[in-house]
Amino acid sequence: MKIGIIGFGNLGRALASGLIQSGSVDIGDIYICENSPDARAIAENNPYYAHTSEDVNYVISNTDVVFLTVKGYVFEKLSANINRCGLVGKTIVSCMAGETFEKIYSLIGDVDLVRVMPSLAISFCDGIIAYTKAPAELVEIFSKFGYAFETEPDRIENVMAFSACGLGYAAYLINAFAVAGEEMGFPVEQAAHIAKLTFNNAVERGGFKETVKAVATPGGATEQGVNYMDECDVQGIVARAVRKAYERMT
């Protein structure tokens, strides 16, 4: 299977890396459409060895499946240059947040379309990817990217707000914990390392509520910190942050 990727920013590169690491494509079977000469140079070399072009129709004509990893407004402009006849028999996979089936159909016609929402961690096959109904060969590829699951079209933005954006939220919270360590006098690298290990340990233990109860013993120091976070409504802040991301896309 030959794969086309429209756009080679962070998500396009994560996708290409995941395809290669999972063994889903052979060397030379990835085609990239990208305007930036620097990005094309990256795509053409190790580990991607991709064919590159500024011409979207070149990429479409040489591939079986085309992933859209650009912003919606970018694709809207680009779509005017697409030869719709060249889309016949191709599967189009949109990674564009907030761009509905109806909107994409209005731009490029009634194509075979799948919407997906991946996290950047698909680059090393440990990510999260939700997809609408898709051909079996694509489902097999998605399953190699990490935790993959099918969802309804009207739920895809929920996945984006909670999962794909969630990677950024998690990193934000870990960084906040590391900064707190720095403010207590820990060297920057040591604070970051302790923060990473602490969050990793929490993940490995599982049962997050139970872990809080186990560590925050009555009258202890941890309880004081947890009580303060409750007073500040940290859980509510996180929930509202996820909701804000969702509202941005709908």
Residues of the chain with pLDDT under 70: none
Lookup: tokens for 198: 């602490």
- Judgement on whether residues 145 and 26 belong to the same structural domain of the protein: yes
Question: What are the beta bridge partners of residue 92?
Answer: 66, 113
- Judgement on whether residues 174 and 147 belong to the same structural domain of the protein: no
- Judgement on whether residues 121 and 67 belong to the same structural domain of the protein: yes
Report the CATH number at residue 236.
1.10.3730.10
Q: What is the pLDDT at residue 142? A: 98
* Distance in angstroms (rounded) separating the CA atoms of residues 5 and 15: 8
On whether residue 161 sits in a domain, the answer given is no
- Judgement on whether residues 130 and 22 belong to the same structural domain of the protein: yes
Sort 50 into a burial class: Cβ within 10 Å, 0-12 / 13-18 / 19+. buried
What spatial distance separates the first Cα and last Cα of the chain, rounded to whole Å? 33
- Judgement on whether residues 174 and 125 belong to the same structural domain of the protein: no
Question: What are the beta bridge partners of residue 51?
Answer: 31
* Distance in angstroms (rounded) separating the CA atoms of residues 92 and 114: 6
Among 128, 152, 176, identify where a domain stops. 152
How many other C-beta atoms lie within 10 A of the C-beta of residue 136?
7
Q: What is the span of the domain harbouring residue 173?
A: 166-249
Cα angle 65-139-162, degrees, rounded to a multiple of 5: 100
Nearest to 82 by CA among 58, 62, 65: 58
Stated as kind and residue range, the H or E segment containing 68 is: strand 65-68
Torsion-angle region of 233 (φ positive above 0: left; ψ -120 to 50: alpha; else: beta): left
Q: 165-187: per-residue pLDDT in tens?
A: 998 999 999 999 999 999 999 99
Which residue is it, tokens 């139970």?
210
Report the CATH number at residue 134.
3.40.50.720
Q: What is the pLDDT at residue 249? A: 82
Q: 57-88: per-residue pLDDT in tens?
A: 999 999 999 999 999 999 999 999 999 999 99
Which residue is it, tokens 């340990």?
201
